């Protein structure tokens, strides 16, 4: 690890993880937006399965599809965003001193 230019220590220096945090947040939001697609697909399946009472089947299918779409979309989006943020952090090469809080380039 490089030495902090402010306090001169290398024991408390770590890679700045801003990209991971931002990437994860963006991925979760983007994945959560897949709720709309899941809701539409669930509504179609619910209407097809419950063709006897279409309104109830469509409603239940839309709610189920939205819940499943939100959970799986947000989870997979967060994982992909975290990975992309990790790559960005490595490329940027910004380090942060945990002792004094200074962010610097190596």
Radius of gyration of the chain (CA): 22
Its domain, for residue 26, covers 19-92
Global pTM?
0.64
50-88 tens-digit pLDDT: 766 667 777 877 787 778 878 888 888 899 999 999 898
3-class secondary structure, 60: helix
Predicted local confidence at residue 51, as pLDDT: 66
| Out of 10-14, 25-29, 62-66, least confident range | 62-66
Burial class (CB in 10 A: 0-12, 13-18, 19+), 61: buried
Would residue 106 count as lying in a domain?
no
Instruction: Say which DSSP state 102 is in.
Output: -
Would residue 50 count as lying in a domain?
yes
Nearest to 65 by CA among 86, 38, 32: 38
Would residue 6 count as lying in a domain?
no
**pLDDT band at 25, cuts 50/70/90?**
very high
- State the total domains in the chain: 1
The answer to whether 16 and 95 have CB atoms below 8 angstroms apart is yes
Predicted local confidence at residue 26, as pLDDT: 92
Would residue 2 count as lying in a domain?
no
Max Cα–Cα distance, the chain, nearest Å:
74
33-49 tens-digit pLDDT: 877 777 777 777 777 77
Would residue 57 count as lying in a domain?
yes
The answer to whether 63 and 57 have CB atoms below 8 angstroms apart is no
Would residue 85 count as lying in a domain?
yes
The answer to whether 76 and 92 have CB atoms below 8 angstroms apart is no
Sign of CA dihedral 56, 62, 65, 71: negative
* Rounded mean pLDDT, 94-103: 88
Would residue 51 count as lying in a domain?
yes
Predicted local confidence at residue 31, as pLDDT: 85
Would residue 80 count as lying in a domain?
yes
């Amino acid at each position: 690890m490089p030495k902090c230019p402010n306090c001169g220590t290398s024991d408390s220096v770590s890679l700045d993880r801003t990209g991971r945090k931002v990437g994860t947040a963006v991925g979760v939001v983007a994945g959560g937006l897949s709720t709309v697609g899941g809701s539409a697909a669930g509504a179609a399946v619910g209407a097809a399965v419950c063709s006897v009472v279409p309104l109830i089947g469509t409603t239940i299918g839309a709610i189920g599809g939205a819940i499943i779409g939100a959970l799986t979309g947000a989870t997979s989006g967060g994982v992909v965003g975290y990975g992309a943020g990790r790559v960005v952090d490595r490329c940027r090469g910004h380090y942060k001193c945990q002792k004094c809080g200074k962010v610097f380039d190596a």
